Amino acid sequence: MKLKCIYLIFSLMTVWSPGALADQLEGHKHEHNDFRHWEIASRDPDRIFLTFHGDAATRRAVTWRTDTNVKKSFLEVAPALAEPGFDRLANRIPALTEVVDLGAAKGSNQSKVHYHSAIMTGLNPDTLYAYRVGDGDKRWSEWIQFRTAAQKAKPFEFIYFGDAQNDVHSRWSRVIRMAHQTAPQAAFALHAGDLINAANSDTEWAGWFKAGSYLHAQWTGIPVVGNHEYLHGGGARKSQRKMSMLWQPQFTLPVKEGLSEELHETVYTVEYQDVQIIVLNSMKNTLEQTKYMEEQLKKPGFNWRFVTFHYPIYSPRFREKHALPKATREEWRELIAKYKVDCVFQGHDHAYLRGQVPMRSAPNVGGNQLETLYVVSVSGPKQGLPEPLHIEKYKKEGFSAVRVAENTQFFQVIEMNGNEMTYKAYTTAGELYDAAVIKKDFKTGMKTIRQMIPDTKERTFENTLEYSSENLK
Ligand SMILES: [Fe+2]
């Protein structure tokens, strides 16, 4: 406060005209409000995000942001016909609007912004739709296209990202864009936690949305919470940490009744054709989620079952304070084994580790029978050092590492095609680094895995360029 007074007195002493004084004060204001234009909400919708919300063949939810001038907002959706007048068949859906007061967490010069959401229902399966969001008058987004799921199994692919977390605007943008170049028809994109670093930083979220731009609106997203979506510091114990105030306003996700409120919109299941994806929250009430996971795994009707959460079961760089509680790890691991979950997609360790557990209920003839594929990956620039001795210890639980990498940003493409799934990990340069094909006998549940690892050197800190940033914590 004292410094501000000195600044003002100095300005008055050195500036004579009222206009020049205003300029000085304006300049002073700019110094402290140096926001990028894309951080600041306007009447035009931004941060448009498409999510699953119930039946993937007939429903989707969309969330977007505007400034508080937009009091009412709408979504319009129509079958994406080839003719430009396709929107004559559009349905208009009024949005729900909520005020978010960013308060101290504000990243822009606005304290309050509006988040709007609308749910599309009654869509036709396996159909291309176009939607737009806006104020119902002149301020509309562009028309954005997406395809609904088919009602039964049909080939599709999806993307899985490990942590984006740091320097997202600058260095994660090329990952998501290369993912789009590699798998443009992806049905959805899974973000396995730590999308940003500081849970309430509106500036960081602005960077995440800018990096993904229209891909966030076009690919249906499956966001998973990580530890960085919870507030750190202040001595708060893990169980007491608060979730990002922007998570629920930004992502319209299914609410699973029966789960405690703090798990709402962080624990849910996506059912996409013959594939079930169970999303868990590794930060809160983890034991409560065991029952939920089992209920989901018992549900019949799926040929493939995946589980995703942030803290890994098999961790390339284990840190006890930043890991699943022991009891939870045991319960989840046992359940994954009991139901022979096909793949587990995780994040957190800022390194790449693909490993597997062989089928335990049958003789592992030829060493290619698979029970579960476990992956930890990273899509952002922050990179940690895997510990081979630690990974080795998991052997007593049947886990063996297949492919490891350091100091590399990845995205994964998973192709589903009948009783075969192909797993591929690409570097952000678009090079295939790791691959495997899993074949499953749907009658017996037995799976075999064929490793398709390209003949390239394991990437390590020694054979790659160093990256350091003061911002990385
Ligand atoms: Fe993390």
Instruction: Give the DSSP per-residue string, 399-430.
Output: -EEEEEESS--EEEEEEEETTEEEEEEEETTS
58: containing domain? 39-147
Q: Which DSSP helix (H) or strand (E) runs through 3? A: helix 2-14
Together in a domain, 201 and 330: yes
Considering the entire predicted model, what is its pTM?
0.91
Measured in Å, residue 16 CA sits from the centre of ligand 1 at: 54
Confirm whether 231 is domain-assigned.
yes
pLDDT given at position 233: 67
Residue with tokens 């973000």: 191
Q: Supply 336's token pair.
A: 């994954």
Work out the average pLDDT over 424-439.
98
SS3 assignment, position 121: coil
In a domain, 236, yes or no: yes
Tell me, in angstroms, the distance from the centre of ligand 1 to residue 45's CA.
30
The CATH code of the domain that includes 430 is 3.60.21.10
Per-residue pLDDT of 337-389, as tens digits, reads: 999 999 999 999 999 999 999 988 776 666 799 999 999 999 999 999 999 99
How does the average pLDDT of the chain come out, rounded? Answer: 91
* pLDDT reported for residue 469: 55
Judgement on whether residues 140 and 283 belong to the same structural domain of the protein: no
On whether both 107 and 9 belong to a single domain, the answer is no
* Same domain assignment for residues 13 and 114: no
Q: Which two tokens stand for residue 387?
A: 């510990």
CA of 19 to the centre of ligand 1 (A): 50
- Going from the Cα of 132 to the center of ligand 1, the distance in angstroms, rounded, reads 34
Q: Give the Å distance between the CA of 463 and the centre of ligand 1.
A: 25
Cα 283 to averaged position of ligand 1 atoms, centre (Å): 10
At 358 the three-state DSSP class reads coil
Q: Is residue 188 part of a domain?
A: yes
pLDDT at residue 7 tops 60: no
Cα of 145 vs centre of ligand 1, distance in Å, is 32
Statement to judge: residues 102 and 214 lie in one domain: no
Statement to judge: residues 307 and 420 lie in one domain: yes
Number of domains in the chain: 3
Burial 33-45 (b: 16+ CB within 10 A, else e): eebeebbbbbebb
Q: Give 450 Cα–ligand 1 centroid separation in angstroms.
A: 30
Quote the pLDDT of residue 234. 59
**Cα 332 from chain centroid?**
21
- The phi and psi torsions of 224 (rounded to 5 degrees) equal -120, 140
**Number of DSSP helices (H) and strands (E) in the chain, helices first:** 10, 22
Residue 225 CA, ligand 1 centroid: distance in Å: 9
* Same domain, residue pair 107 and 189: no
pLDDT over 70 percentage in the chain: 89
Distance 319 CA to ligand 1 centre (A): 11
Strand, helix or coil for residue 128: strand
At which of 95, 113, 147 does a domain end? Answer: 147
Distance 311 CA to ligand 1 centre (A): 7
Q: Which residue from 122, 131, 133 is spatially nearest to 95, judged by alpha carbons? A: 133
> Is 64 in the same domain as 178?
no
Residues 45 and 7 in one domain: no
The pLDDT of residue 110: 80
How far apart are the CA of 113 and the centre of ligand 1, in A?
Answer: 28
Indicate if 8 and 88 belong to the same structural domain.
no
184-201 residue pLDDT tens: 999 999 999 999 999 999
Q: How far apart are CA 85 and CA 17, in angstroms?
A: 57
Please check whether residues 209 and 83 belong to one and the same domain. no
Spatial separation of the C-alpha atoms in residues 400 and 235, rounded to whole Å: 37
Residue 158 belongs to a domain: no
Strand segments (E) across 362-409: 372-376, 400-405
- Distance (angstroms) between ligand 1 centre and the Cα of 226 equals 5
Please give the pLDDT value at position 448: 96
Q: How far is the CA of 318 from the centre of ligand 1 (A)?
A: 11
Average the pLDDT over each of 112-121, 131-140, 313-322 and give the range with the smallest value. 313-322
Regarding whether 110 and 43 lie in a shared domain, the answer is yes
**CA separation, residue 421 to residues 10, 220, 335, 343 (Å):** 69, 20, 22, 10
- How many Å lie between the centroid of ligand 1 and the Cα of residue 265? 18
159 falls within a domain: no
Ligand 1 mean position, distance from CA 416 (Å): 28
Centre of ligand 1 to C-alpha 196, Å, is: 10
Token digits of residue 236: 């708060």
Taking 60 as the threshold, does the pLDDT of residue 12 lie above it?
no
Q: Is residue 244 part of a domain?
A: yes
Structural domain contains residue 463: no
Least confident of 177-186, 226-235, 268-277, 416-425: 226-235
Which pLDDT value is given to residue 19? 41
For the ranges 44-48, 249-253, 279-283, 360-364, which has the lowest average pLDDT?
Answer: 360-364
- DSSP characters for 179-204? HHHH-TT-SEEEE-S-SSSSTT-HHH
Query: Which residue from 64, 79, 200 is spatially nearest to 135, judged by alpha carbons?
Result: 64
CATH code, 120: 2.60.40.380
Q: Is residue 456 part of a domain?
A: no
